[in-house]
Amino acid sequence: MQRIVEASKKNIQIAADIIRKGGIVAFPTETVYGLGADAFNPDAVIRIFKIKQRPEFFPLIVHISERADTQKLYKEVSPQAVSLMDKFWPGPLTIVLEKKERVPDIVTSGNNTVGVRMPSNKAGFDFIRCCGTPIAAPSANRSGSISPTDARTVFEQLGDSVDLILDAGSTEVGIESTVISLLEKPVILRPGCVPKEDIEKVIGKVNVIREEPRPFRTVTPFEFLKSSVIIPDNNNLGFLAFAEPKNLKKRFKAIEVLSAGGDLWEAGKNLFEKLHKLDKMNLDKVYMEELPEEGMGLAIMQKLRKLAVRD
């Protein structure tokens, strides 16, 4: 099958079908090309990380074509958010707010927030509308490369690992969307093509973040179960196992298994859900099994290492 196809009405329908079946489609937006999957299908979303060969999890922007879709994603839409949507949507502004429970953790990298935007590129917009589901999408480049602004570059970077690439020529802007959090006081998390000054005209003073946003954190301490670790005599401990554990069952009050069959991709998909589950159990400590650092294993281990370091 030809990978790059013109974003005609017929091909947009074919692309939307691929999405509904859990596939991955690269599509144009007004900023850069995105690598899209059904935001409510964790199996599809995990493939995005695989294709990008990203050694770390990161939160994905969810793309919509109708304002009503924000109801499926945000817990609540604040008046400030409404003003920004009125002014900048469709367009290159991503708004971060608290997420609904049903938004998969793999989309938000375990955070309780979700970033949403409505692209203005005609072909991209029509594609999202045709899918009938919100589309989670990072820029369609391989990890470490710059974001692609045309279909050929997407193909050069990602090749046959994408199910289809919708070609609508070069993107209009070439710089990514501005990402703003409205969780508390408005903060720009990533400066982009909507200038701060334009945003301030709508909602007043806005800050720009200087350091990395706080990564996902647990309440319970997490520690790797290395061979040197001596497990204390405590009956309130948890264990996050990679595969089905053989001889540890008696020592832990709670055990969660990332992938019974020891599959790294399945483990990646389940990671945040299992972490949240253990974190909510009021355990004194959770021990984590180390995973092989290959493929998705590297991304998982990076995330777990951050959890193990507490400040």
The window from 35-43, 108-116, 132-140, 244-252 that contacts Mg ion (CB under 5 A) reads 132-140
Which of ligand TXA, Mg ion, none does 4 bind, CB closer than 5 to 8 A by kind? none
- Residues 208 and 188 sit within 8 Å (Cβ to Cβ): yes
CB of 24 vs ligand TXA, minimal distance in Å: 13
Beta bridge partners of 251: none
- The DSSP secondary-structure symbol of 189 reads E
H/E stretch holding 288 reads: strand 285-288
What is the smallest separation between the CB atom of 252 and ligand TXA, expressed in angstroms? 32
Tally Cβ neighbours within 10 Å of residue 45: 24
From first CA to last CA, the distance across the chain in angstroms is 51
Element (H, E) at 113: strand 113-117
Instruction: Indicate the residue among 51 and 283 with the shorter CB distance to ligand TXA.
Output: 51
* Displacement of CA 105 from its chain's centroid (Å): 8
- Work out how close the CB of 176 gets to Mg ion at its nearest, in angstroms, rounded to a whole number: 6
- Please report how close the Cβ of residue 174 comes to Mg ion at its closest, in angstroms: 13
Residues near ligand TXA, by CB under 6 A: 29, 31-32, 34, 58-61, 92, 94, 96, 108, 111, 113-115, 137-139, 176-177, 179, 189-190, 213
Q: Which stretch in 47-55, 138-146, 200-208, 251-259 sits in contact with Mg ion by CB under 5 A?
A: 138-146
What does DSSP assign to residue 230?
P
Across 211-230, b (16+ Cβ under 10 Å) vs e yields eeeeebeeebebebbeeeee
# residues contacting Mg ion (CB under 5 A): 1
Return the residue of 65, 121, 139, 178 that touches Mg ion, per CB under 5 A.
Answer: 139
User: Residue 153, interface with Mg ion (CB under 5 A)?
Assistant: no
Give the footprint of Mg ion on this chain (CB under 5 A). 139
